[in-house]
Amino acid sequence: MTQETKTINITLKVWRQKGPKEKGRFETIHVKDIETHMSFLEMLDVVNERLTLEGKEPIEFDNDCREGICGMCGAVVNGIAHGPEKGMTLCQLHMRKFCDGDIIAVEPWRARAFKVVKDLIVDRSPLDKIIQAGGFVSTIAGGAQDGNAIPISQEIAEKAMDAAACIGCGACVAACPNASAMLFVGAKISQLALLPQGKPEAARRALSMLRKMDELGFGNCSNETECEAVCPKEISIANIARFNREFLKAGFGSSER
Amino acid sequence: MQLDSKVPGGPLAEKWDRHRFELKLVNPANKRKYNIIVVGTGLAGSSASATLAELGYNIKAFCIQDSPRRAHSIAAQGGINAAKNYPNDGDSIWRLFYDTIKGGDFRSREANTYRLAQVSDNIIDQCVAQGVPFARDYGGLLANRSFGGAQVSRTFYCRGQTGQQLLLGAYSSLSRQIAAGKVKMFPRREMVELVVINGKAKGIVVRNLITGEFESHDADAVVLATGGYGNVYYLSTNATSCNVGAAFRAYKKGALFANPCYTQIHPTCIPHSGEYQSKLTLMSESLRNDGRVWVPKNAGDKRRPNDIPESERDYYLERKYPSFGNLAPRDIASRSAKEMCDAGRGVGPTGYAVYLDFKEAIERDGIDIVRKKYGNLFDMYENIIDDNPYETPMMIYPASHYTMGGLWVDYNLMSNIEGLFVLGEANFSDHGANRLGASALMQGLADGYFIIPYTIGGYLAGTGPSEFDADHPAFNDATKQADECIKKLLAIKGKRTADNIHRDSGHIMWEYCGMARTEEGLKKALMLIQDLREEFWQNVLVPGSDRDYNLSLQKAGRVADYLEFAELMITDALAREESCGGHFREEYKTEEGEAKRDDENFCHVAAWEYGGYGKAPIFHKEPLTFENVELSQRSYK
């Protein structure tokens, strides 16, 4: 461990917005003596503790597991969803990546489909609605055959797992100039299209999830690849290509349409 | 109060089959007349909601996060046990049952634990059918790995994200039922009251965390799947929103709380590094397969680890437990680390850490092999601690991880309040005084997919549809009570934030009711907690208003619960005058310093009844009878 504790002073330009219908604005907060061992969210905790003791309202932000798996946290830091480090959620970012005197801009995810709830919190329930439109295998508890009755090659299982690693944080949507959810949807479509269990419903799934995505106000994909660049789980845009193939197959080759 | 576990008669292996036959059924056409509330959407809650909806019941599901997919089950890394015996290495239902009951230091209910092992195989099949991408071998069949406390390979896994994948599987089934209109999902809700009418659970009051308003929901039965209370220590591997609130509010309405002193402290976590710290990150136990744990021989040795010569290092686990060495069980490894640090031999900036050294493994196997096995963990460590564990030893320290205690339930998973069912980590039933690795996921899904669907039917068939709705005055009273509590918290306008006070109470619990406990320490903790609770109600500062999204207010409510709950935990730890599993009382140990059970006097479940605010809880006992296994003393020398 870097043995001695280092502290820095920073300036936060943080988005404050009372509610979905209120007008938001950037607030400047000078923050002194931040230990560089802190995580970014712990820095916000410290700021909030200070704001509270000063009689001000703390900055509201979503967070839960603080180890990069629940997908609850997320903000755009200096223009980048989840901040400057690759393959990481905001809760895994540490203050040692910043320098003394830095000005740090912190904003909520911005997308037509995600309404701001308060400050840095947005409503990501549209992602749940997309899954409800078909991101599942229609099976019921009790009727399953033996797990080993369906052999799945290691290669396919690994690819499915790569896609299934999505944590549903919404960074891909926030980073996309079109606020598209194609990487999110593509990851789920891929996982289930690769596996034999998902094949019977593949056509219906692809059509129905895409329709729902459009209906909820997400944009389309124009190959900017910004989503892949910010994805904390480094999910590949190959999944979008697979989604497109599934969509075409469903459109031309099935009776679903 | 007479505690009836309702364990059916007959031989152990036939109990569940027999019970399923004896349970009354609800006719398929009648199922839609019943409404069931499920609180929590982790493995237990999601699987229960989805499965009950598949059967035809109307479900209202509640979760505290913005989406059911984020419940903390998602963070489980290692895997899920099942008695499939695919590797042909001698596993069986009986062996999984025996390992679990022995691992729990003979403090769980035989029949429940056996049933858990029995349904374990169905869980794997169900998850595969959902499209959970389990690891496969080259032939395309399911792969297994080994885990602590077992000599067979029975753990199924999805890389280091098994909990995530299993939860997403359950969430997908839940999503399908939401789309079908059978589940109504209420995210960002916190349960604040259980509504009990004529002795039966008939609904809940929740707070909408976005608007701050209270909402009343009536039902024919209430299912709590709200997880454990590990955050009583403030710092833990749990998510920040994990809380004891729902279970504790049910306790205050008469549900018994069983064995609250059984907590699991996991030995390999990234140590605490400063006052601001908000959580402790778990590093997989698998690291102890190749890492060697040590501290300097001399107290206060501040040299860098690589400057300390071999002769001045103490590989204390290898020294104390030559046959198990660095692979000693969780509770023993944790306690030993604490002993070393308490003796002033801990390392790192705080002195509360021990080294986990891979030098020998790297020299033996080469850096590439070590990287292949543990690369992601080493990266995670480097990101948090900013040090390269390939070059200098890792620092680790134990942290609160899981709680075996929980609301008392019978064989049907129903609490002593009729119509209140409790699943997963929130109940007490299957793990005794210590849980084995990869068994939490198994229990959550067993309860939700394969147990509650049968037992809740038996209850509903016996009672018929509820004649009460949310207009009943009991809902109004419960809402008023919850509102008063929140108004009171906001009105104090003191000088300390809830987080700040929670940090103190967590420290007290860690110090006196953590890895090792003494009568003197526990009595002291009781007073300290009582004083702190008094201070909390006079000096807490909660900013903002109640009709708004206000995380500080949510936290204050949870800390208030923890400050009362802590007292219950200490009371239980004081009453259990023996050492077993995660509960280690310094006064009760063998000559070698190991845990010493007292089967004559403490082979029972301690179930506590709420006695009123500031009053001592009332003790009830459920004796544990072992008809199929012989109680033995654990030894790892």
DSSP string, A121-186: EE--HHHHHHHHTT-S----TT-PPPGGGS---HHHHHHHHHHHT-----HHHHHSTT-B-HHHHH
Task: Give me the residue from A64, A135, A148 closest to B70, CB to CB.
Answer: A64
CATH at residue B551: 1.20.58.100
Asked if the structure places residue A183 within a domain, the reply is yes
- Do A55 and A133 share a structural domain? no
Residue of A nearest to B119 (CA): A142
Asked if the structure places residue B332 within a domain, the reply is yes
Residue of B nearest to A68 (CA): B75
Q: Which of B55, B59, B61 is nearest to B42 (CA)?
A: B61
- Do A232 and A132 share a structural domain? yes
Supply the pTM of this predicted model. 0.97
* Pairwise CB contact (< 8 Å): B67 & A168: yes
Position A257 pLDDT exceeds 70: no
Q: Is B533 a catalytic residue?
A: no
Asked if the structure places residue B468 within a domain, the reply is no
Residues of A in contact with B134 (CB under 8 A): 147, 157
Asked if the structure places residue A28 within a domain, the reply is yes
DSSP B446: I
Amino acid (1-letter code) at residue A89: T
> Does ipTM exceed 0.90?
yes
Asked if the structure places residue A145 within a domain, the reply is no
- Do A196 and A93 share a structural domain? no
- Do B390 and B489 share a structural domain? no
What range does the domain containing A25 cover?
7-118
Residues of B in contact with A49 (CB under 8 A): 497, 499-500
Helix H segments across B346-469?
359-365, 367-385, 440-445, 452-463
Position A3 pLDDT exceeds 70: no
CB proximity list for B298: less than 8 A, separation 6 or greater: B312, B345
Residues of B in contact with A123 (CB under 8 A): 66
Q: Which of A189, A227, A192 is nearest to A210 (CA)?
A: A189
Calculate mean pLDDT across residues A226-248.
Answer: 97
* Pairwise CB contact (< 8 Å): B173 & A141: yes
Where does a domain end: B337, B364, B398? B398
Q: pLDDT tens digits for B605-614?
A: 999 999 999 8
CATH at residue A51: 3.10.20.30
Task: Give me the residue from A41, A52, A160 closest to B133, CB to CB.
Answer: A160
Asked if the structure places residue A66 within a domain, the reply is yes
Contact B568, B233 (CB under 8 A): no
Position A2 pLDDT exceeds 60: no
- Do B497 and B388 share a structural domain? no
Asked if the structure places residue A143 within a domain, the reply is no
CATH at residue B285: 3.90.700.10
Q: What is the pLDDT of residue A165?
A: 97
Q: What is the pLDDT of residue B148?
A: 72
Mean confidence (pLDDT) of chain B:
95
Asked if the structure places residue A144 within a domain, the reply is no
Asked if the structure places residue B278 within a domain, the reply is yes
Position B265 pLDDT exceeds 50: yes
Calculate mean pLDDT across residues A8-13.
Answer: 98
- Do B394 and B272 share a structural domain? yes
Q: What is the pLDDT of residue B274?
A: 83
Indicate the pLDDT class of residue B285, thresholds 50, 70 and 90: confident
Written as six digits, the tokens of B274 are 């400063």
Residues of B in contact with A50 (CB under 8 A): none
Where does a domain end: B398, B419, B440? B398
Q: What is the spatial distance between Cα A153 and Cα B170, in angstroms, rounded to a whole number? A: 23
- Do A164 and A211 share a structural domain? yes
Indicate the pLDDT class of residue B423, thresholds 50, 70 and 90: very high
Contact B306, B359 (CB under 8 A): no
Written as six digits, the tokens of A147 are 């797990």
Give the number of domains in chain A: 2
- Do A97 and A22 share a structural domain? yes
- Do A100 and A214 share a structural domain? no
Q: Which A-chain residues 202-231 have CB contacts (< 8 A) with chain B?
A: none
- Do A111 and A223 share a structural domain? no
Position B544 pLDDT exceeds 90: yes
Calculate mean pLDDT across residues B530-545.
Answer: 98
Indicate the pLDDT class of residue A1, thresholds 50, 70 and 90: very low
Position B465 pLDDT exceeds 90: yes
Calculate mean pLDDT across residues B387-398.
Answer: 95
- Do A110 and A133 share a structural domain? no
Task: Give me the residue from A42, A65, A137 closest to B130, CB to CB.
Answer: A137
- Do A130 and A114 share a structural domain? no
Location of structure tokens 């605490």: B272
Vertex B4: Cα angle to B1 and B10 (nearest 5): 160
Asked if the structure places residue A86 within a domain, the reply is yes
Asked if the structure places residue B140 within a domain, the reply is no
- Do B271 and B394 share a structural domain? yes
- Do B498 and B594 share a structural domain? yes
Distance between A139 CA and the closest CA of chain B, angstroms:
7
Q: What is the pLDDT of residue B636?
A: 67
Contact B110, B13 (CB under 8 A): no
Q: What is the pLDDT of residue A111?
A: 97
Amino acid (1-letter code) at residue B23: L
- Do A113 and A22 share a structural domain? yes
Q: What is the pLDDT of residue A137?
A: 98
- Do A88 and A128 share a structural domain? no
Contact A105, A77 (CB under 8 A): yes
* Pairwise CB contact (< 8 Å): A52 & B133: no
* Pairwise CB contact (< 8 Å): B125 & A144: yes
Indicate the pLDDT class of residue B328, thresholds 50, 70 and 90: confident
What range does the domain containing B581 cover?
473-600
Q: What is the pLDDT of residue B278?
A: 92
Q: pLDDT tens digits for B237-251?
A: 999 999 999 999 999
Indicate the pLDDT class of residue B105, thresholds 50, 70 and 90: very high
In this structure, of A113-117, A238-242, B436-440, the range with the lowest mean pLDDT score is B436-440
Give the number of domains in chain B: 2
Position A9 pLDDT exceeds 50: yes
Query: What is the CB-side half-sphere exposure of residue A78 using CA atoms within 13 A?
Result: 11
Give the mutation candidate from B121, B172, B241 for the A interface (greatest A CB count, under 10 A). B172
Q: What is the spatial distance between Cα B190 and Cα B207, in angstroms, rounded to a whole number? A: 5
User: What is the share, in percent, of chain A residues with pLDDT greater than 90?
Assistant: 95
Q: What is the pLDDT of residue A182?
A: 98
Contact B60, A51 (CB under 8 A): no
- Do A186 and A71 share a structural domain? no
Asked if the structure places residue A232 within a domain, the reply is yes
Strands across the sheet containing B313-314: B263-269, B394-403, B354-357, B292-296, B313-314
CATH at residue A131: 1.10.1060.10
- Do B477 and B394 share a structural domain? no
Calculate mean pLDDT across residues A15-32.
Answer: 97
* Pairwise CB contact (< 8 Å): B137 & A154: yes
Give the mutation candidate from A38, A65, A90, A188 for the B interface (greatest B CB count, under 10 A). A65
Check CB contact of A152 with chain B, cutoff 8 Å: yes
Q: pLDDT tens digits for B479-504?
A: 999 999 999 999 999 999 999 999 99
Check CB contact of A31 with chain B, cutoff 8 Å: no
User: What is the share, in percent, of chain B residues with pLDDT greater than 70?
Assistant: 100
Residues of A in contact with B281 (CB under 8 A): 66-67
Position B1 pLDDT exceeds 60: yes
